[in-house]
Amino acid sequence: MNESPHSLSSARTLWDLVVRRARLTPDRPVFLQADRRLTFGELREKAERVAAGLYGMGVRPGTVVAWQLPTRIETALLSFALARLGAVQSPVIPYYRDREVGFALDRSRAEFFAVPGVWRGHDHTEMARRLGAKGVFEAYGALPDGDPAVLPAAPTDGTAVRWIYWTSGTTSDPKGVLHTDRSLIAGGSCLAHALRLTPDDVGSMAFPYAHIAGPDYTVMLLLYGFPAVLFEHFALPEALAEYRRHGVTVAGGSTAFYSMFLAEQRKRPGRKVIPSLRLLAGGGAPKPPELYYSVVRDMGVQLAHGYGMTEVPMITMGDPEDTPEHLATTEGRPPAGMQVKIVDGEVRLRGEAVCQGYLDPAQRATAFDEEGFLRTGDLGHLTDSGHLVLTGRLKDVIIRKGENISAKEIEDLLAVHPAVGDAAVIGLPDAERGELVCAVVEQAANAPGLTLSDVIAHLRAEGLSVHKLPERLEVVEALPRNDTLRKVLKYKLRERFSAPARHDG
């Protein structure tokens, strides 16, 4: 009963970690949601019953099960039940629609698909049937249930690929990222140790559980034995009551979350908006240095920002005890076991938390260099103190509120509009979102004037997900191009349309 978080990090599988934590602190809560609570002991017991129910449906070790569920206790139970069986999970973000969902189901060859039924006005069951999904079942109200006595032995190989996460890259189609239990445990372990968390903390999950941050964060809870408040739908100021009610000490998610909390704090200066809060932490999008200083000054809490991606959920993390300059201007330092090297300005990575590559063999073949380092496509440099500074991206991806958005996907859909001659989509710095989506358009000859409303209506009609819609439109006479292949020079557009950095205070 004296196992430390560091010793628990050696668990071979996620289920092994659940069993060990349930043995140590069975009665302590792991998830809090509204008036509901689930203890570590209940997590093990109920997940086993769900696993038995899934087994009765035909789910076996290695069976591919996709699920598109919101952040709820049932979602965590289903995911850990699948981990108990040794199934291959393919989580899909809840607000993805036909285009992304159909691609994920087809490429993963999912044999079962768990959906929430009608959720926030969208009929996921009807969409699944429209897409021809196999083994569709609604898991939002009643989860499968059975007698654990029927279950086969729990998996012991933590290095087998059992996770397919989806991320948008430089092409319009998502990429399937392959993870193992060990890579997820390594990522969550690094995050927990870097943030210096304790069993007395209370965390919060305001992002989709289907995001790579879901297991990343849950590993922290299992290692340190503290709970997290789950938010099925996050909005401020409505969510503040739950933060206060449960005494949340650690909150965040990404740059957008920091800005939202800061805005609420500024409505009531001199009185902490969440009295128990001591730390904001997250990653997934660029963080302006001035945002760090504003949070520390106005909210009276520390801010530790990090660098991660679907391929490597935790790469570097700010140390809450580091200097203000390092916390404001860098992404923190890599943990032990994460090797970072810079090749021609590109950040490359090797370590246990790194994924196994991509589902697509062609993408997998070029993912790693000759020394086995993952090519991130991100540009940066290491300081003398070992801190990582990111300076840009090779990949043409916009990171808005922690989610990757393919510029090419939007450009391809804009090209269909009769009033568009050519288009380039870029990300522009934004204090609230990290980046906002800006469409820069050359109009077709003799076309009527184009407005942002026209562009949004067109993209909606083409089936683009709401979170990818542009917030800004710029119409130009001609896009800047190079003199050889006439490639659009997006850096010139970013220079032209980026607003000067805002300095608070």
Q: What pLDDT digit, counting tens, does each position of 135-183 carry?
A: 999 999 899 999 999 999 999 999 999 999 998 643 457 899 999 999 9
Burial (CB count within 10 angstroms: exposed 0-12, middle 13-18, buried 19+), residue 62: middle
Is pLDDT of 392 > 80?
Answer: no
Question: Residue ranges of the domains in the chain?
Answer: 10-181, 398-497
- Name the CA radius of gyration of the chain, rounded: 23
Give CA–CA dist 8/16, Å, rounded. Answer: 9
Q: What are phi and psi of 49, to 5 degrees?
A: -70, -40
Residues 80 and 126 sit within 8 Å (Cβ to Cβ): no
Chain centre distance of CA 412: 25
The residues pairing with 37 across neighbouring beta strands, listed in sequence order, are 32
Residue 209: predicted pLDDT = 96
Single-letter amino acid, residue 353: A
Mean pLDDT check: name the lowest of 373-377, 473-477, 485-489: 485-489
pLDDT of residue 504: 39
CB count within 10 Å of CB 489 equals 14
Q: Where are the extended beta strands (E) located within 383-419? A: 388-393, 397-400, 403-406
Q: What is the pLDDT of residue 330?
A: 95
Kindly provide the b/e burial profile for residues 112-142, where b requires at least 16 CB atoms within 10 angstroms of the residue's own CB. Answer: bbbbbeebeeeebbebbeebebebbbbbbee
Mean pLDDT for 365-377 is 96
How far apart CA 380 and CA 439 sit, in angstroms, is 26
Q: What is the DSSP letter of 467?
A: G
Type of residue numbered 125: T
Instruction: Identify the bridge partners of residue 436 per DSSP, sorted by sequence position.
Output: 428
Read off the pLDDT of each residue in 204-223 and give the average, rounded to a whole number.
94
Record the pTM. Answer: 0.83
- The closest of 238, 255, 234, 235 to 303, measured between CA atoms, is 255
pLDDT band at 489 (very low <50, low <70, confident <90, very high): confident
Fold entry, domain 10-181: Rossmann fold (3.40.50)
pLDDT at 172: 57
Using one digit for the tens of pLDDT, what is the confidence trace for 222-275?
Answer: 999 999 999 999 999 999 999 999 999 999 888 888 988 999 999 999 899 999
Q: Is the pLDDT of residue 3 over 80?
A: no
Closest listed residue to residue 304, CA positions, set 185, 4, 354, 314 = 314
pLDDT of residue 1: 53
Alpha carbon of 380 to those of 152, 350, 405, 406: distances in Å? 47, 16, 21, 21
Q: Using the predicted structure, report yes or no on whether residue 58 has a pLDDT greater than 90.
A: yes
The DSSP string of 140-158 is SSS-----GGG--PPP--T
- Give long-range contacts, CB 8 A cutoff, 24+ apart: 464-469: 464/99, 464/409, 464/410, 464/413, 465/95, 465/96, 465/97, 465/99, 465/100, 466/95, 467/95, 467/400, 467/401, 467/403, 467/405, 468/400, 468/405, 468/409, 468/410, 468/437, 469/437
Q: Tell whether the torsion through CA atoms of 50, 55, 60 and 61 is positive or negative.
A: positive
Least confident segment among 162-171, 282-291, 331-340, 402-411:
162-171
Centre a 10 Å sphere on the Cβ of residue 321 and count the other Cβ atoms it contains: 9
Query: Confidence band (pLDDT; 50, 70, 90) for 445?
Result: confident
Task: Calculate the average pLDDT of the chain.
Answer: 92
Q: Does domain 398-497 have CATH number 3.40.50.720?
A: no
